[in-house]
Structure 1
Amino acid sequence: MLEYSVRARRDDAHGSTAFCKDASLVLDTGLAGRLDAFNPAELFLASVAACMLKGLERVAPLLSFSYSGVEIKLHGIRQDAPPKMLRIDYEIVIDTDEPDRRIALMHENIRKYGTISNTVAGALELIGTIRRAGV
């Protein structure tokens, strides 16, 4: 089993800071919002994207999958009462010359082996596609 730890501290009425290992991240926790930090919903979406990107990094060598870049676009839908995320739509855009069937295989592996994406998919709709860049 793996375990993870993060510590967060309120800095002032406009924001907070999270700490992990040697890293820190400014958080948008103020009621007015701020443009220079992720709010909790954006941080949640970013964690899904990071999981998918890490999955790609992990699976690519195993599949001998060649690519030069990747971008993941996510869109979350939140309900107000009670407040919760209902759905996340995503698009993975990958710069590769691999055949379409191998791109689909990569998508399957990203979805199958992602800790965060599997957790999220068990709690809400996680719907997405993968496509070749430039198409």
Structure 2
Amino acid sequence: MMLEYRVSARRIDSHGSEAEVKSAHLVLDTDMAGRDDAFNPAELLLASLAACLLKGAERVTPMLKFDLRGIEVSLHAVRQDSPPKMIRIDYEIVVDTDESDQRLDLLHRNLRKYGTISNTLAEATELVGTIRRKG
């Protein structure tokens, strides 16, 4: 079975645009000078990866019977200018848990293996990540 996704976006003015899906609206930073109150396209890509990892944790922790009190993801990307593209994305997953290092590694492997966005990005750029216990 193939899943399909649809999002629509439109230009509001020279300072920004808006994307819509379901009943959600997201302001997009499409201003050439940038803006502080919205995600630009590169930041949206990183946020998508973060959401993929976080949603993946919601999916796999019950299956693994993994004790998860909290999880955070930090990301950093490097973009080249010509041609413009992301050449590397680094992420760090910080998990609030008492699980062993082996179980943390198992969680990380599952997040990478079953993540739609992480799998897509790993085919297109260097995707490097770590996982550690909070503390």
TM class, shorter-chain normalised?
A: over 0.9
Query: Hey, what's the Cα distance between the residues in 1 that align with 2:11 and 2:72?
Result: 31
Q: Percent identity?
A: 69
Superimposed CA distance per residue, residues 41-77 of structure 1 (whole angstroms, 9 cap, x where no aligned partner): 0000000110011111000000001111111000000
Partner SS for 1:81: coil
Gaps of 5+ in 1: none
Paired position in structure 1 for 2:20: 19
Superposition TM-score, scaled by structure 1 size: 0.98
Give distance in 2, aligned partners of 1:15 and 1:78: 22
Question: TM-score, with normalisation over the residues of structure 2?
Answer: 0.98
SS of structure 1 residue aligned to 2:42: helix
Q: CA RMSD in A?
A: 0.5
- CA deviations on 1:7-37 (whole Å, 9 max, x unpaired) are 0010010000000011010000010100000
- 1:101 counterpart SS class: helix
Cross-structure match for 2:64: 63
d(CA) in 2 for partners of 1:21, 1:31: 28
**Partner Cα distance (1:29, 1:90) in 2:** 25
Runs (5+) with no aligned partner, structure 2: none
Give the match for residue 49 of structure 1.
50
**C-alpha distance in structure 2 between counterparts of 1:19 and 1:132, whole Å:** 36
Name the structure 2 match of 1:115. Answer: 116
Across the two proteins, how many residue pairs are aligned to each other?
134
